[in-house]
A and B are shown apart, each in its own frame.
Chain A
Amino acid sequence: MYDVNVLLNTMQQQLMTYFNTIAPAKEVIMIGIHTGGLWIAQHLHQKLQLPQALGSLDITFYRDDFTQIGLHPEVKPSQLPTDLDNKHILLVDDVLYTGRTIRAALNELFDYGRPASVTLAVLIDRGGRELPIAANIIGQSIHLKKNQHIKLQGPDQLRLEILEKP
């Protein structure tokens, strides 16, 4: 099974290149997507000692399936540290699959301002995209069947679990 710490280290290495080429670490605003993405972001934020406060994003209000599933009662308010105009955003999620969550997250971010850039970092890219979205920083790319589902368990001890639907 995948060791989350190893994947986090892989991401950390790629992030160093990002800091050297796109935006210096002190200017980057890291934002984790509720819930799993935020756990990953918390670990990375601590490892990298980023000076800007960590932000969190709950994309519930921006989902494209609201009329089918209704409002999730445990939606958490998004906490974004500062005005996002002209800032370099590092968006973090646990698993990249269809791309719909990231589409929703981008829409929400742009309602808070006009960032200079948005970079996507994910722990797992499992393929299966339904939208033209790609991650810049990837812990590991894997291939899963349609009936398989990968889930990050936490927050105390982060581990990845693959569930299979019959």
Chain B
Amino acid sequence: MIAEHNLQLDPQKNLHHFLSIEGLSRKHLTSILEATHSFTNVAEQSVKKVPLLRGKTIVNLFFEPSTRTRNTFELAAKRLSADVLNIDINTSATSKGESLLDMLHNLEAMHCDMFIIRHAYSGAAHFMAQHVAPHISVINAGDGCHEHPTQAMLDMFTIMQHKSGFALLKVAIVGDILHSRVARSQIHALNILGVEEVRVVAPKTLLPTAVETLGVHVYHHLDAALQDVDVIIMLRLQHERMQGALLPSQGEYFKNYGLTEQRLALAKSDAIVMHPGPINRGVEIASSIADGTQSVILQQVTYGIATRMAIMSMTLGRMPNHSSHPSTTE
């Protein structure tokens, strides 16, 4: 596993790829959060662009459906002045039987600089990172049930905008933990940033085995889990990944695990409600909560752009053998 963790860092321990939160240090995460903060301003310029990645070509390789993630990656790349290539997998040669590696080498031959990949297989981004040319960076935009690290970072940034520091926070993650790569990345990030407590809340059928080893407290009753929490993260039921009957019905699920106004009242009065989207109203969250004053769901989307700008420029900006900063340009 050690070799795999080091895969995303260059010899100076700077980010070269961004594959998983697991294996990163608190310093890595805080520098991403700091850089994100500075990129939030770009949206306020009348020309919403900075020239950082001018001349770089970034390829969006989405083997699974996505709207928010793919669009915010594309906007982030464009606001950094990079050129973006969106590969439509359904009409590409992959559907004619081309292997992932052959596709990769063809894109390399077109002088691309970064691959952003989403794939149904866990480890797909790591696999790519192991096989790309050394100047190319790979960013994981979600791999199977493993990780979705840029989502976790935008969630951390959203929390940071509403709470003063991570140390005293109690966070509840509610729903389909078993299939959620978002939850895995969030749990790692929250623990690395040193929150007081991470709670996961789900029926037994939607929890991975030995989930406690990730550093979380397990709850099966939502009411108990919401007591005194500062942050509530709701997750979508991932029907597309479910095999077999894990739940009696959606109605039954909402009755036991849906976030309603009565339940939200159990959390701290200034608790924020988050959701990585897409939301299913009336399945995991009541409409009045999703649109309510404590919801920061749309802010998550906005911050997703600045977060991805930060991660893209941190991975692409540093060339091998140039780790130090001259003090000024004057």
Q: Which residues from chain A sit less than 8 Å from chain B, CB to CB?
A: 58, 60-79, 83, 95-98, 100-101, 104, 107-108, 110-113, 126, 149, 151
Given contacts A98-B329, A101-B328, contact A70 B314 (CB under 8 A): yes
A68 contacts B322, C-beta separation under 8 Å:
yes
Q: Quick one: closest A residue to B53, CB to CB?
A: A66
B38 contacts A58, C-beta separation under 8 Å:
yes
Q: Report B-chain residues with C-beta under 8 Å of the C-beta of A69.
A: 317-318, 322, 324-326
Which one of B14, B38, B49, B329 contacts A63 once the chains associate, using CB atoms below 8 Å? B329
Cβ < 8 Å to A, chain B residues 96-146: none
Cβ < 8 Å to A, chain B residues 44-79: 45-47, 49-52
Q: Report A-chain residues with C-beta under 8 Å of the C-beta of B42.
A: 61
Minimum distance in angstroms from B299 CB to a CB of chain A: 17
Minimum distance in angstroms from B108 CB to a CB of chain A: 19
Roughly how many angstroms separate A96 CA and B328 CA in the complex, as a whole number? Answer: 11
A70 contacts B34, C-beta separation under 8 Å:
no
Roughly how many angstroms separate A72 CA and B37 CA in the complex, as a whole number? Answer: 13
B329 contacts A71, C-beta separation under 8 Å:
no
A73 contacts B34, C-beta separation under 8 Å:
yes
Q: Report A-chain residues with C-beta under 8 Å of the C-beta of B323.
A: 70
Q: Report B-chain residues with C-beta under 8 Å of the C-beta of A70.
A: 14, 314, 317-319, 322-323, 325
Roughly how many angstroms separate A61 CA and B40 CA in the complex, as a whole number? Answer: 12
How many B residues are at the interface, by size bracket? 20 to 34
Q: Which residues from chain B sit less than 8 Å from chain A, CB to CB?
A: 14, 31, 34-35, 37-38, 40-42, 45-47, 49-52, 310, 313-314, 317-319, 322-330
Minimum distance in angstroms from A116 CB to a CB of chain B: 15
Roughly how many angstroms separate A74 CA and B32 CA in the complex, as a whole number? Answer: 10
Q: Quick one: closest A residue to B314, CB to CB?
A: A71
Which one of B41, B49, B317 contacts A78 once the chains associate, using CB atoms below 8 Å? B41
Greatest chain A CB density within 10 A among B49, B313, B319, B328 is at B328
Which one of B35, B317, B325 contacts A67 once the chains associate, using CB atoms below 8 Å? B317
Which one of A65, A97, A111 contacts B50 once the chains associate, using CB atoms below 8 Å? A111
A66 contacts B46, C-beta separation under 8 Å:
no
Roughly how many angstroms separate A109 CA and B328 CA in the complex, as a whole number? Answer: 19
Q: Report A-chain residues with C-beta under 8 Å of the C-beta of B322.
A: 68-70
Q: Report B-chain residues with C-beta under 8 Å of the C-beta of A79.
A: 41
Roughly how many angstroms separate A151 CA and B326 CA in the complex, as a whole number? Answer: 13
A71 contacts B313, C-beta separation under 8 Å:
yes
A–B Cβ pairs within 8 angstroms, 23 of them: A61-B42, A61-B51, A62-B50, A62-B51, A68-B319, A69-B325, A70-B14, A70-B322, A70-B323, A71-B35, A71-B52, A71-B314, A73-B34, A77-B37, A77-B41, A78-B41, A98-B329, A100-B330, A101-B328, A101-B330, A111-B49, A111-B50, A112-B45
